[in-house]
Amino acid sequence: MRRVFIVSLKIRQSMSLIKDLYLESMEYLSSPLIFSFIHCRDIANLEDLSIVEYFDSSYRRITLKPEREDFFFFWELGVEEEALHKKLSYLTAGFNQLNPYTISENVRDKLWLHKRLKDAMPPYIWFPKGSVFQEIKRKLHDFECEDLVIVKPRKGTEGWGVRIFPVKQLDALSEYISKLCRGYDVILEKFIRPSRSSCNFVVRIASAFNGETFKAESSFSILAETTEVASYLRGGRILSTYELFTQLGINYNEFCHMIKDKSQQVSYFINRDMSERDMLKYMGIDLVFSDEKVFVIDVNPRPSGLQYLRSLENPEKICIFGNLHRYIYSSSK
């Protein structure tokens, strides 16, 4: 029986996650997987690894040596997640990784994403680190947008550094970008305003590899309330996608079909030309909707909020890994 190791800094959240994943695997498999939590600080010694596992309806702390057929998933790594993920991925090289470092960092790079996904994302401009006010202002003059734009660091998460501006506030917009460019590359995108809501919202889709293709099986949504940026850390409210669409009077079943198609396409393009071992096999895809079109605004290789995921087919049902359980199990034989 194979194990899946959740490697994280977050103890309480990870303990809850390994229990939920074990119970979920019982629904998908005749013989459930064993899910274990490893604190990042304990992973240096793979010959005598200290873990907490959930199996057979109970937690237990043990030490063991991982088998080559086991899987690692890196999650909730804190503010230094890039450097930590790189270290952890190196330490577990030779084992199966659900979110290897190289493809994860490509995905975290919004410029790489734009080049990879093209028209699936909103129109954009890239401002390299060091860009200055007049240069930025010149580029903005040529950008085709009549309403709002959103400014983001090229690499970032949970809304850090993200601001929305009317494109006509050219001086204020240029000044903000120039300040960010002192330390970072910056991406500016056309802001996609939801066509059926006065509030901004984002739908997070969990897309997982089932051994043959990618499937979008679960989601939750973030509704912006105190700011226009839909981020939990900036006051956004998390609710089920079904609940949100019902409140907004949106046909849930109609949009589910669009969500699934878009997420499957995105997952394929991200992993195009990759070997199975190097693929990003699990990801959170952030979608927005406008005029019956779906846009991708971000993809997260270490998606947070897994406890909020609910099945697209059955909105009352917790669904985290979905068919990824079958892939892990079949890969372990």
Mean pLDDT of the chain: 90
Q: What is the DSSP letter of 74?
A: E
Contact 218, 242 (CB under 8 A): no
CA dist., res. 281 & res. 34, Å (int): 19
- Judgement on whether residues 9 and 38 belong to the same structural domain of the protein: yes
| Domain shared by 109 and 205, yes or no | yes
In contact, 25 and 60? CB cutoff 8 Å: no
pLDDT band for 193, please (50, 70, 90 cuts). Answer: confident
Higher pLDDT: 249 or 128? It is 128
217, 303: one domain: yes
Question: Confidence class of residue 236 from pLDDT cuts 50, 70 and 90?
Answer: confident
The boundaries of the domain holding residue 230 are 105-116+194-331
Average pLDDT over residues 201-227: 88
Look up residue 249 and give its two tokens.
């009077």
3-class DSSP assignment, residue 321: coil
- Tell me: the pLDDT tens digits for 28-63? 998 899 999 999 999 988 889 999 999 888 999 999
Q: Are residues 39 and 127 in the same domain?
A: no
Task: Indicate if 235 and 319 belong to the same structural domain.
Answer: yes
Residues 172 and 314 in one domain: no
CB atoms within 10 A of CB 47: 8
pLDDT at 261 over 80: yes
Query: The CATH number of the domain where 170 resides is what?
Result: 3.30.1490.20
Q: Which residue has the higher pLDDT, 155 or 59?
A: 59
Instruction: Sheet containing 186-190: give its strands across.
Output: 124-127, 186-190, 148-153, 163-166
Same domain, 169 and 208: no
Among 190, 223, 243, the domain boundary falls at 190
Give mean pLDDT, residues 256-276.
92
How far is C-alpha 15 from the chain's CA centre?
20
Q: What is the pLDDT of residues 126-137, one digit of tens each?
A: 999 999 999 999
Q: Do residue 111 and residue 222 come from a single domain? A: yes
The residue with greater pLDDT, 221 or 233, is 221
Q: Which CATH number goes with the domain that contains 208?
A: 3.30.470.20
212 and 160 in a common domain: no
pLDDT > 90? residue 144: no
Give the count of domains, the chain.
3
User: 93 and 205 share a domain?
Assistant: no
**Of the residues 190, 218, 235, the one at which a domain ends:** 190
CA pair distance 140, 268, nearest whole angstrom: 32
**Whether residue 111 sits in one domain with residue 251:** yes
